[in-house]
Protein backbone atom coordinates (compact mmCIF):
# COMPACT_ATOMS: atom_id res chain seq x y z
CA UNK A 1 0.00 0.00 0.00
CA UNK A 2 2.82 2.41 0.79
CA UNK A 3 4.34 1.80 -2.59
CA UNK A 4 1.05 2.67 -4.33
CA UNK A 5 0.63 5.96 -2.43
CA UNK A 6 4.18 7.05 -3.30
CA UNK A 7 3.53 6.38 -7.00
CA UNK A 8 0.36 8.51 -6.97
CA UNK A 9 2.13 11.41 -5.23
CA UNK A 10 4.96 11.26 -7.76
CA UNK A 11 2.50 11.48 -10.64
CA UNK A 12 0.60 14.41 -9.12
CA UNK A 13 3.84 16.32 -8.59
CA UNK A 14 4.74 16.15 -12.29
CA UNK A 15 1.22 17.14 -13.46
CA UNK A 16 0.90 20.23 -11.23
CA UNK A 17 1.39 23.60 -12.95
CA UNK A 18 3.32 26.38 -11.19
CA UNK A 19 0.03 28.00 -10.15
CA UNK A 20 -1.04 24.78 -8.56
CA UNK A 21 -3.58 23.86 -11.30
CA UNK A 22 -3.50 20.44 -12.78
CA UNK A 23 -3.01 20.11 -16.58
CA UNK A 24 -1.87 17.44 -18.92
CA UNK A 25 1.75 17.54 -19.85
CA UNK A 26 2.14 17.98 -23.61
CA UNK A 27 5.17 17.92 -25.77
CA UNK A 28 6.48 21.20 -27.18
CA UNK A 29 4.10 22.53 -29.90
CA UNK A 30 5.19 22.66 -33.56
CA UNK A 31 4.01 25.39 -35.99
CA UNK A 32 0.47 24.67 -37.19
CA UNK A 33 0.47 22.91 -40.55
CA UNK A 34 -1.38 24.65 -43.43
CA UNK A 35 -4.62 22.98 -44.43
CA UNK A 36 -4.16 21.76 -48.02
CA UNK A 37 -6.55 23.19 -50.63
CA UNK A 38 -8.41 20.30 -52.26
CA UNK A 39 -9.84 20.96 -55.71
CA UNK A 40 -12.74 18.59 -56.27
CA UNK A 41 -12.29 16.51 -59.43
CA UNK A 42 -14.91 16.87 -62.16
CA UNK A 43 -17.49 14.19 -61.74
CA UNK A 44 -17.31 11.55 -64.48
CA UNK A 45 -20.03 12.06 -67.09
CA UNK A 46 -23.13 10.05 -66.65
CA UNK A 47 -23.05 7.07 -68.94
CA UNK A 48 -25.00 7.76 -72.14
CA UNK A 49 -26.92 4.82 -73.40
CA UNK A 50 -25.96 3.74 -76.88
CA UNK A 51 -29.17 1.83 -77.23
CA UNK A 52 -31.67 3.28 -79.67
CA UNK A 53 -35.06 2.18 -80.98
CA UNK A 54 -34.95 -0.28 -83.87
CA UNK A 55 -37.48 -2.27 -85.92
CA UNK A 56 -39.76 0.74 -86.19
CA UNK A 57 -42.26 1.41 -88.96
CA UNK A 58 -43.02 5.11 -89.35
CA UNK A 59 -45.54 6.74 -91.65
CA UNK A 60 -47.25 10.03 -92.37
CA UNK A 61 -49.75 11.76 -94.60
CA UNK A 62 -49.80 14.82 -96.87
CA UNK A 63 -47.93 13.42 -98.69
CA UNK A 64 -48.34 9.75 -97.82
CA UNK A 65 -45.05 8.07 -96.89
CA UNK A 66 -43.59 5.28 -94.78
CA UNK A 67 -40.13 4.50 -93.39
CA UNK A 68 -38.50 1.25 -92.28
CA UNK A 69 -36.03 1.70 -89.43
CA UNK A 70 -34.16 -1.57 -89.04
CA UNK A 71 -31.41 -3.05 -86.89
CA UNK A 72 -28.83 -0.42 -87.89
CA UNK A 73 -31.07 2.51 -88.73
CA UNK A 74 -33.16 3.79 -91.67
CA UNK A 75 -33.39 1.21 -94.48
CA UNK A 76 -36.10 2.31 -96.87
CA UNK A 77 -38.39 5.25 -97.60
CA UNK A 78 -41.63 4.75 -99.54
CA UNK A 79 -43.96 7.35 -101.04
CA UNK A 80 -47.24 6.76 -102.83
CA UNK A 81 -46.75 6.37 -106.61
CA UNK A 82 -42.95 6.67 -106.40
CA UNK A 83 -40.41 3.83 -106.44
CA UNK A 84 -39.00 2.94 -103.00
CA UNK A 85 -35.81 4.70 -101.88
CA UNK A 86 -33.17 2.39 -100.41
CA UNK A 87 -31.21 4.03 -97.57
CA UNK A 88 -27.74 3.31 -96.26
CA UNK A 89 -27.80 3.67 -92.43
CA UNK A 90 -25.17 5.90 -90.81
CA UNK A 91 -24.43 7.19 -87.33
CA UNK A 92 -27.04 7.32 -84.57
CA UNK A 93 -26.92 9.81 -81.70
CA UNK A 94 -29.00 10.23 -78.56
CA UNK A 95 -30.20 13.81 -78.26
CA UNK A 96 -32.00 13.21 -74.99
CA UNK A 97 -31.15 9.79 -73.53
CA UNK A 98 -34.16 7.57 -73.60
CA UNK A 99 -36.35 10.24 -75.20
CA UNK A 100 -34.95 11.47 -78.53
CA UNK A 101 -32.58 10.11 -81.18
CA UNK A 102 -31.15 11.27 -84.51
CA UNK A 103 -30.41 8.74 -87.26
CA UNK A 104 -28.29 9.62 -90.29
CA UNK A 105 -28.49 7.86 -93.65
CA UNK A 106 -27.78 8.24 -97.37
CA UNK A 107 -30.06 7.87 -100.36
CA UNK A 108 -28.18 5.07 -102.15
CA UNK A 109 -29.39 6.18 -105.60
CA UNK A 110 -28.51 9.89 -105.40
CA UNK A 111 -26.20 10.21 -102.39
CA UNK A 112 -28.52 12.76 -100.77
CA UNK A 113 -28.37 13.10 -96.98
CA UNK A 114 -31.30 11.79 -94.96
CA UNK A 115 -31.91 12.57 -91.28
CA UNK A 116 -34.52 10.81 -89.15
CA UNK A 117 -35.48 12.18 -85.73
CA UNK A 118 -37.34 9.92 -83.33
CA UNK A 119 -39.05 11.30 -80.23
CA UNK A 120 -40.48 9.00 -77.58
CA UNK A 121 -43.80 10.73 -77.15
CA UNK A 122 -47.40 9.90 -77.91
CA UNK A 123 -48.31 10.56 -81.53
CA UNK A 124 -51.72 10.39 -83.12
CA UNK A 125 -52.36 9.77 -86.79
CA UNK A 126 -55.31 11.80 -87.97
CA UNK A 127 -56.16 9.10 -90.49
CA UNK A 128 -56.28 6.30 -87.89
CA UNK A 129 -57.74 5.98 -84.43
CA UNK A 130 -54.50 4.80 -82.86
CA UNK A 131 -51.82 6.30 -80.62
CA UNK A 132 -48.24 5.58 -81.62
CA UNK A 133 -45.16 5.40 -79.41
CA UNK A 134 -42.96 7.76 -81.42
CA UNK A 135 -43.19 11.08 -83.19
CA UNK A 136 -41.03 10.97 -86.32
CA UNK A 137 -39.51 13.67 -88.53
CA UNK A 138 -37.72 12.65 -91.76
CA UNK A 139 -35.67 15.16 -93.74
CA UNK A 140 -34.44 14.21 -97.21
CA UNK A 141 -32.05 16.74 -98.76
CA UNK A 142 -33.94 16.62 -102.09
CA UNK A 143 -37.49 15.69 -101.14
CA UNK A 144 -37.81 17.85 -98.01
CA UNK A 145 -39.42 17.31 -94.61
CA UNK A 146 -41.87 14.53 -93.80
CA UNK A 147 -43.66 14.35 -90.44
CA UNK A 148 -45.52 11.43 -88.92
CA UNK A 149 -45.74 8.73 -86.25
CA UNK A 150 -43.96 5.46 -85.58
CA UNK A 151 -44.38 2.18 -83.76
CA UNK A 152 -42.05 -0.70 -82.96
CA UNK A 153 -43.23 -3.65 -85.09
CA UNK A 154 -40.51 -6.35 -85.05
CA UNK A 155 -42.65 -8.93 -86.81
CA UNK A 156 -42.56 -6.86 -90.01
CA UNK A 157 -38.78 -7.20 -90.36
CA UNK A 158 -37.45 -10.39 -92.02
CA UNK A 159 -34.17 -10.34 -90.10
CA UNK A 160 -36.05 -10.30 -86.79
CA UNK A 161 -38.41 -13.07 -87.85
CA UNK A 162 -35.52 -15.30 -88.88
CA UNK A 163 -33.52 -14.56 -85.75
CA UNK A 164 -36.49 -15.42 -83.60
CA UNK A 165 -37.46 -18.41 -85.75
CA UNK A 166 -40.78 -16.94 -86.78
CA UNK A 167 -40.15 -18.15 -90.31
CA UNK A 168 -37.94 -20.87 -91.76
CA UNK A 169 -34.49 -20.08 -93.14
CA UNK A 170 -33.78 -22.17 -96.22
CA UNK A 171 -30.06 -21.50 -96.12
CA UNK A 172 -28.72 -20.13 -92.83
CA UNK A 173 -25.19 -19.98 -94.28
CA UNK A 174 -26.22 -17.49 -96.96
CA UNK A 175 -24.97 -14.23 -95.46
CA UNK A 176 -26.04 -12.18 -98.47
CA UNK A 177 -29.73 -12.82 -97.88
CA UNK A 178 -30.27 -9.88 -95.55
CA UNK A 179 -28.53 -7.41 -97.86
CA UNK A 180 -31.63 -7.16 -100.06
CA UNK A 181 -34.29 -6.99 -97.37
CA UNK A 182 -34.77 -3.26 -97.98
CA UNK A 183 -36.44 -4.05 -101.31
CA UNK A 184 -39.40 -6.38 -101.13
CA UNK A 185 -40.20 -8.40 -104.27
CA UNK A 186 -42.85 -6.75 -106.45
CA UNK A 187 -45.66 -9.24 -106.87
CA UNK A 188 -48.78 -7.17 -107.57
CA UNK A 189 -47.84 -6.15 -111.12
CA UNK A 190 -49.87 -6.86 -114.25
CA UNK A 191 -48.33 -7.67 -117.61
CA UNK A 192 -49.67 -5.72 -120.62
CA UNK A 193 -52.26 -7.54 -122.71
CA UNK A 194 -52.06 -5.40 -125.87
CA UNK A 195 -48.67 -4.42 -127.34
CA UNK A 196 -47.07 -3.70 -130.68
CA UNK A 197 -43.42 -3.80 -131.67
CA UNK A 198 -41.04 -4.17 -134.59
CA UNK A 199 -39.69 -7.66 -135.22
CA UNK A 200 -35.98 -8.21 -135.82
CA UNK A 201 -36.83 -7.99 -139.54
CA UNK A 202 -38.54 -4.60 -139.10
CA UNK A 203 -42.08 -5.91 -139.51
CA UNK A 204 -44.92 -4.52 -137.37
CA UNK A 205 -46.26 -7.06 -134.88
CA UNK A 206 -49.51 -6.47 -132.97
CA UNK A 207 -50.15 -8.80 -130.05
CA UNK A 208 -53.39 -8.92 -128.08
CA UNK A 209 -53.58 -11.56 -125.39
CA UNK A 210 -52.24 -14.76 -126.93
CA UNK A 211 -53.08 -13.67 -130.50
CA UNK A 212 -50.13 -12.33 -132.50
CA UNK A 213 -50.54 -10.69 -135.91
CA UNK A 214 -48.15 -9.22 -138.44
CA UNK A 215 -49.74 -5.90 -139.38
CA UNK A 216 -47.34 -4.53 -142.00
CA UNK A 217 -44.00 -5.29 -143.62
CA UNK A 218 -42.59 -1.97 -142.41
CA UNK A 219 -43.43 1.09 -140.38
CA UNK A 220 -42.43 3.06 -137.29
CA UNK A 221 -43.72 5.26 -134.45
CA UNK A 222 -46.19 2.71 -133.09
CA UNK A 223 -49.04 3.72 -130.77
CA UNK A 224 -51.61 1.27 -129.33
CA UNK A 225 -54.99 2.59 -128.23
CA UNK A 226 -55.76 2.50 -124.50
CA UNK A 227 -58.48 -0.10 -125.04
CA UNK A 228 -55.96 -2.28 -126.85
CA UNK A 229 -57.98 -2.75 -130.05
CA UNK A 230 -56.32 -0.35 -132.53
CA UNK A 231 -52.87 0.64 -133.67
CA UNK A 232 -51.55 3.87 -135.17
CA UNK A 233 -48.24 3.90 -137.02
CA UNK A 234 -46.25 5.91 -139.58
CA UNK A 235 -45.36 4.56 -143.00
CA UNK A 236 -42.68 6.25 -145.06
CA UNK A 237 -43.73 6.96 -148.66
CA UNK A 238 -41.06 9.29 -150.03
CA UNK A 239 -38.27 11.34 -148.50
CA UNK A 240 -40.69 14.10 -147.54
CA UNK A 241 -43.99 12.23 -147.47
CA UNK A 242 -45.46 9.88 -144.90
CA UNK A 243 -48.79 8.24 -144.17
CA UNK A 244 -50.48 7.88 -140.78
CA UNK A 245 -52.16 4.45 -140.76
CA UNK A 246 -54.85 3.02 -138.47
CA UNK A 247 -55.06 -0.75 -137.96
CA UNK A 248 -58.10 -2.30 -136.29
CA UNK A 249 -57.37 -5.59 -134.51
CA UNK A 250 -61.03 -6.62 -134.45
CA UNK A 251 -61.61 -6.30 -138.21
CA UNK A 252 -58.02 -6.79 -139.34
CA UNK A 253 -58.32 -3.76 -141.66
CA UNK A 254 -55.84 -0.93 -142.21
CA UNK A 255 -56.98 2.63 -143.05
CA UNK A 256 -54.91 5.59 -144.23
CA UNK A 257 -55.78 8.59 -142.05
CA UNK A 258 -53.48 11.35 -143.29
CA UNK A 259 -50.84 11.69 -145.97
CA UNK A 260 -48.07 14.26 -146.44
CA UNK A 261 -45.54 15.86 -144.08
CA UNK A 262 -46.99 14.20 -141.00
CA UNK A 263 -45.66 11.83 -138.35
CA UNK A 264 -45.70 10.66 -134.72
CA UNK A 265 -49.36 9.99 -133.85
CA UNK A 266 -50.48 9.66 -130.19
CA UNK A 267 -53.86 8.56 -128.86
CA UNK A 268 -55.86 10.84 -126.58
CA UNK A 269 -56.78 9.38 -123.16
CA UNK A 270 -60.27 8.36 -124.35
CA UNK A 271 -59.05 7.16 -127.79
CA UNK A 272 -61.42 9.59 -129.55
CA UNK A 273 -58.66 11.84 -130.96
CA UNK A 274 -55.02 11.62 -131.93
CA UNK A 275 -52.23 14.18 -131.83
CA UNK A 276 -49.55 14.33 -134.53
CA UNK A 277 -46.80 16.50 -136.00
CA UNK A 278 -47.35 18.39 -139.24
CA UNK A 279 -44.65 20.28 -141.16
CA UNK A 280 -45.91 23.77 -142.01
CA UNK A 281 -43.87 26.79 -143.18
CA UNK A 282 -40.56 25.14 -142.45
CA UNK A 283 -41.46 24.02 -138.91
CA UNK A 284 -43.07 21.07 -137.15
CA UNK A 285 -46.29 21.98 -135.37
CA UNK A 286 -48.68 20.13 -133.09
CA UNK A 287 -52.02 19.15 -134.62
CA UNK A 288 -54.93 17.01 -133.49
CA UNK A 289 -57.82 15.27 -135.24
CA UNK A 290 -60.84 13.11 -134.38
CA UNK A 291 -60.06 9.47 -135.12
CA UNK A 292 -63.43 9.14 -136.86
CA UNK A 293 -62.89 12.16 -139.15
CA UNK A 294 -59.16 12.83 -139.66
CA UNK A 295 -59.95 15.32 -142.44
CA UNK A 296 -61.09 17.69 -139.65
CA UNK A 297 -57.54 18.00 -138.31
CA UNK A 298 -56.61 21.38 -136.86
CA UNK A 299 -53.56 23.07 -135.36
CA UNK A 300 -53.37 22.59 -131.57
CA UNK A 301 -50.29 24.70 -130.79
CA UNK A 302 -48.44 27.22 -132.97
CA UNK A 303 -44.97 26.61 -131.54
CA UNK A 304 -42.08 24.90 -133.35
CA UNK A 305 -41.56 21.50 -131.72
CA UNK A 306 -39.39 18.44 -132.25
CA UNK A 307 -41.44 15.62 -130.79
CA UNK A 308 -44.61 14.67 -128.91
CA UNK A 309 -44.24 12.91 -125.56
CA UNK A 310 -47.90 12.06 -125.02
CA UNK A 311 -51.17 13.33 -123.62
CA UNK A 312 -51.26 14.43 -119.97
CA UNK A 313 -55.05 14.64 -119.89
CA UNK A 314 -57.91 15.25 -122.31
CA UNK A 315 -56.83 18.87 -122.83
CA UNK A 316 -53.04 18.86 -122.34
CA UNK A 317 -50.19 17.43 -124.43
CA UNK A 318 -46.49 17.22 -123.56
CA UNK A 319 -44.10 18.34 -126.32
CA UNK A 320 -40.36 18.86 -126.74
CA UNK A 321 -38.37 21.45 -128.72
CA UNK A 322 -34.85 20.24 -127.70
CA UNK A 323 -34.58 23.07 -125.18
CA UNK A 324 -37.54 22.54 -122.91
CA UNK A 325 -40.53 20.37 -122.21
CA UNK A 326 -43.83 22.21 -122.60
CA UNK A 327 -47.29 21.32 -121.35
CA UNK A 328 -49.53 22.83 -124.02
CA UNK A 329 -53.29 23.01 -123.64
CA UNK A 330 -56.25 23.72 -125.89
CA UNK A 331 -57.08 26.74 -123.72
CA UNK A 332 -53.50 27.95 -123.08
CA UNK A 333 -50.60 27.82 -125.57
CA UNK A 334 -48.05 26.94 -122.86
CA UNK A 335 -49.44 25.82 -119.55
CA UNK A 336 -46.05 24.94 -118.10
CA UNK A 337 -42.43 24.61 -119.26
CA UNK A 338 -39.40 22.83 -117.86
CA UNK A 339 -35.80 23.28 -119.00
CA UNK A 340 -34.27 20.12 -120.42
CA UNK A 341 -30.93 21.09 -118.90
CA UNK A 342 -32.59 20.90 -115.50
CA UNK A 343 -33.94 17.44 -116.31
CA UNK A 344 -30.83 15.94 -117.92
CA UNK A 345 -28.23 17.35 -115.52
CA UNK A 346 -24.58 16.73 -116.41
CA UNK A 347 -24.94 13.11 -117.54
CA UNK A 348 -27.28 13.43 -120.54
CA UNK A 349 -27.68 15.75 -123.51
CA UNK A 350 -30.30 16.98 -125.98
CA UNK A 351 -31.18 14.76 -128.94
CA UNK A 352 -34.11 14.24 -131.26
CA UNK A 353 -33.99 10.57 -130.25
CA UNK A 354 -34.78 11.42 -126.62
CA UNK A 355 -38.22 10.54 -125.23
CA UNK A 356 -40.11 11.46 -122.06
CA UNK A 357 -42.99 9.44 -120.67
CA UNK A 358 -45.13 10.58 -117.73
CA UNK A 359 -46.00 7.98 -115.10
CA UNK A 360 -49.60 6.78 -115.62
CA UNK A 361 -50.57 7.57 -112.00
CA UNK A 362 -48.15 10.32 -111.01
CA UNK A 363 -47.64 13.41 -113.21
CA UNK A 364 -44.59 14.40 -111.13
CA UNK A 365 -42.60 11.31 -112.18
CA UNK A 366 -40.95 11.22 -115.61
CA UNK A 367 -39.27 8.32 -117.43
CA UNK A 368 -36.60 9.88 -119.66
CA UNK A 369 -34.63 8.14 -122.42
CA UNK A 370 -31.67 10.28 -123.46
CA UNK A 371 -28.22 10.36 -125.00
CA UNK A 372 -25.22 10.03 -122.70
CA UNK A 373 -22.87 13.02 -122.76
CA UNK A 374 -20.06 10.75 -121.64
CA UNK A 375 -20.78 7.10 -122.32
CA UNK A 376 -20.08 5.00 -119.21
CA UNK A 377 -17.34 2.38 -119.47
CA UNK A 378 -18.80 -0.88 -120.73
CA UNK A 379 -21.87 0.71 -122.35
CA UNK A 380 -22.20 -0.17 -126.07
CA UNK A 381 -22.32 2.73 -128.53
CA UNK A 382 -23.98 3.19 -131.88
CA UNK A 383 -21.48 2.22 -134.59
CA UNK A 384 -22.45 5.04 -136.94
CA UNK A 385 -23.13 7.85 -134.49
CA UNK A 386 -20.68 6.82 -131.77
CA UNK A 387 -23.17 7.78 -129.07
CA UNK A 388 -24.79 5.90 -126.21
CA UNK A 389 -28.31 5.90 -124.81
CA UNK A 390 -29.72 5.29 -121.36
CA UNK A 391 -32.79 6.12 -119.30
CA UNK A 392 -33.55 7.51 -115.86
CA UNK A 393 -36.37 8.62 -113.57
CA UNK A 394 -36.83 12.30 -112.81
CA UNK A 395 -39.05 13.81 -110.12
CA UNK A 396 -40.13 17.29 -111.15
CA UNK A 397 -40.85 18.67 -107.67
CA UNK A 398 -37.70 17.42 -105.92
CA UNK A 399 -35.35 17.33 -108.95
CA UNK A 400 -34.34 13.83 -107.87
CA UNK A 401 -32.75 11.86 -110.72
CA UNK A 402 -32.15 8.08 -110.64
CA UNK A 403 -30.41 6.27 -113.50
CA UNK A 404 -32.03 2.87 -114.14
CA UNK A 405 -30.75 1.67 -117.51
CA UNK A 406 -28.29 -1.25 -117.41
CA UNK A 407 -24.80 0.08 -118.07
CA UNK A 408 -23.96 -2.92 -120.25
CA UNK A 409 -26.64 -1.97 -122.81
CA UNK A 410 -27.45 0.67 -125.37
CA UNK A 411 -30.90 1.32 -123.85
CA UNK A 412 -33.57 3.48 -125.48
CA UNK A 413 -37.30 4.09 -125.97
CA UNK A 414 -38.29 3.28 -122.39
CA UNK A 415 -42.05 3.20 -121.69
CA UNK A 416 -44.28 2.58 -118.67
CA UNK A 417 -46.60 -0.36 -118.26
CA UNK A 418 -50.22 0.68 -117.58
CA UNK A 419 -49.86 -0.27 -113.89
CA UNK A 420 -46.80 1.99 -113.55
CA UNK A 421 -44.74 -0.72 -111.83
CA UNK A 422 -42.78 -1.87 -114.89
CA UNK A 423 -40.52 -0.30 -117.49
CA UNK A 424 -40.05 -1.77 -120.97
CA UNK A 425 -37.19 -0.67 -123.24
CA UNK A 426 -35.13 -1.63 -126.28
CA UNK A 427 -31.69 -2.85 -125.29
CA UNK A 428 -28.63 -3.70 -127.38
CA UNK A 429 -25.83 -5.58 -125.64
CA UNK A 430 -22.12 -5.79 -126.43
CA UNK A 431 -22.75 -8.59 -128.94
CA UNK A 432 -25.04 -6.23 -130.90
CA UNK A 433 -28.05 -8.36 -130.08
CA UNK A 434 -31.20 -6.23 -129.76
CA UNK A 435 -34.30 -7.19 -127.77
CA UNK A 436 -37.10 -5.74 -125.70
CA UNK A 437 -36.44 -5.95 -121.96
CA UNK A 438 -38.51 -5.43 -118.87
CA UNK A 439 -37.60 -4.31 -115.34
CA UNK A 440 -39.50 -3.07 -112.31
CA UNK A 441 -39.49 0.65 -111.50
CA UNK A 442 -37.12 0.08 -108.58
CA UNK A 443 -34.49 -1.33 -110.97
CA UNK A 444 -35.04 -4.97 -110.03
CA UNK A 445 -36.23 -7.96 -112.07
CA UNK A 446 -34.46 -7.27 -115.37
CA UNK A 447 -35.35 -9.87 -117.99
CA UNK A 448 -35.86 -10.26 -121.72
CA UNK A 449 -39.45 -9.74 -122.85
CA UNK A 450 -39.40 -10.27 -126.64
CA UNK A 451 -37.11 -10.29 -129.65
CA UNK A 452 -37.59 -6.99 -131.43
CA UNK A 453 -37.62 -3.25 -130.70
CA UNK A 454 -39.75 -0.12 -130.30
CA UNK A 455 -42.41 -1.56 -127.99
CA UNK A 456 -45.72 0.32 -127.69
CA UNK A 457 -48.15 -0.60 -124.93
CA UNK A 458 -51.90 -0.10 -124.91
CA UNK A 459 -53.86 -2.04 -122.36
**101-113 pLDDT, tens per residue?**
999 999 999 999 9
In the chain, CATH 2.120.10.30 sits at 345-459
**119-147 pLDDT, tens per residue?**
999 999 877 778 999 999 999 999 999 99
**398-452 pLDDT, tens per residue?**
999 999 999 999 999 999 999 999 999 999 999 999 999 999 999 999 999 999 9
pLDDT score at 32: 47
Q: Let me know: does 198 contact 205? Beta carbons within 8 Å.
A: yes
Please tell me the distance from the alpha carbon of residue 318 to that of residue 337, in angstroms, as a whole number. 9
pLDDT at 31 over 60: no
Predicted TM-score of the model (pTM)? 0.85
**374-413 pLDDT, tens per residue?**
999 999 998 888 899 999 999 999 999 999 999 999 999 9
The C-alpha angle 70, 72, 77, rounded to 5 degrees, equals 45
Please tell me the distance from the alpha carbon of residue 307 to that of residue 297, in angstroms, as a whole number. 18
The more confidently predicted of residues 40 and 299 is 299
**Mean residue pLDDT across the chain:** 87
Confidence at 165, pLDDT banded by 50, 70, 90? low
CATH number of 345-459: 2.120.10.30
pLDDT at 85 over 60: yes
Contacts of 208 (CB under 8 A, 6+ apart): 193, 194, 228, 229, 249
pLDDT at 177 over 60: no
pLDDT at 228 over 60: yes
141-147: which pairs have CB atoms within 8 A and are 24 or more residues apart? 141/107, 141/112, 141/113, 141/114, 142/107, 142/110, 142/112, 142/395, 142/398, 142/399, 142/400, 143/79, 143/395, 143/398, 143/400, 144/398, 146/60, 146/63, 146/65, 147/60
Please tell me the distance from the alpha carbon of residue 82 to that of residue 395, in angstroms, as a whole number. 9
Phi, psi of 154 (to 5 degrees): -55, -35
pLDDT score at 19: 38
DSSP 383-405: TTT---EEEEEEETTT--EEE-S
DSSP designation for 432: -
pLDDT score at 164: 63
Q: Of all helices (H) and strands (E), which one includes residue 9?
A: helix 2-14
Amino acid sequence: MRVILLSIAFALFHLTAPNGALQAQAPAQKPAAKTPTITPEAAPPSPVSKHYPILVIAHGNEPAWSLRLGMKGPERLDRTNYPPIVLEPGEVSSDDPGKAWTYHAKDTATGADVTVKLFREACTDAAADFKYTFRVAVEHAQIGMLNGCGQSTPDKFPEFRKKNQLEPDDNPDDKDKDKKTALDPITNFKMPVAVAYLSSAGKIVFKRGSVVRQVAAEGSQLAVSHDGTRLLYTRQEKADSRVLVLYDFTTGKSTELLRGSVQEAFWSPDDSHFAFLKFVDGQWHLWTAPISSPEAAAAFSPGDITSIDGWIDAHTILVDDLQKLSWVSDDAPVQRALSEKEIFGDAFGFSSANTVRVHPLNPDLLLVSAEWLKVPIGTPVDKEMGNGQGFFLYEISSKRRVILSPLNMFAQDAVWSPDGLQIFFTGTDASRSTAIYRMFWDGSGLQKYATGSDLAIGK
